């Protein structure tokens, strides 16, 4: 029996957010189903065109957060 995959499932596969078993099933299905392969390639092309995001804040942002944290902690103690 063939399983129908949604775009959301393919996207989860691309982002490596699928459960291990689902990931293996999807990998096999993509290799076996030409329609699914085309959809995967299309979504992968779009994924590669997305801007890359950095999840490391600058030192100044961290410093500002620490100052804010200290101020709010002090305010909470004074109340």
Domain assignment present for residue 37? The answer is yes
Q: By residue range, what is the domain housing residue 25?
A: 7-78
Q: What is the pLDDT of residue 78?
A: 81
Domain assignment present for residue 62? The answer is yes
- The CA–CA distances, whole Å, from 6 to 13, 29, 46, 49, 56 equal 11, 12, 16, 21, 32
Domain assignment present for residue 12? The answer is yes
Domain assignment present for residue 2? The answer is no
Domain assignment present for residue 1? The answer is no
Domain assignment present for residue 56? The answer is yes
What is the reported pTM? 0.63
Kindly give the confidence (pLDDT) of every residue in the chain, 79 residues in length, as a single tens digit, with 9 standing for 90 and above.
567 889 999 999 999 999 999 999 999 999 999 999 999 999 999 999 998 877 788 899 999 999 999 998 888 888 7
Our count of domains for the chain comes to 1
């Amino acid at each position: 029996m063939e399983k129908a995959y949604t775009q959301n499932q393919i996207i989860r596969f691309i982002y490596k957010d699928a459960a291990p078993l689902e990931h293996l099933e999807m990998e096999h299905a993509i290799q076996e189903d030409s329609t699914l392969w085309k959809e995967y390639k299309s979504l992968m092309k779009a994924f590669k065109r997305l801007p890359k995001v950095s999840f490391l804040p600058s030192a100044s942002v961290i410093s500002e957060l620490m100052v804010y944290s200290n101020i709010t902690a002090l305010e909470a103690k004074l109340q």
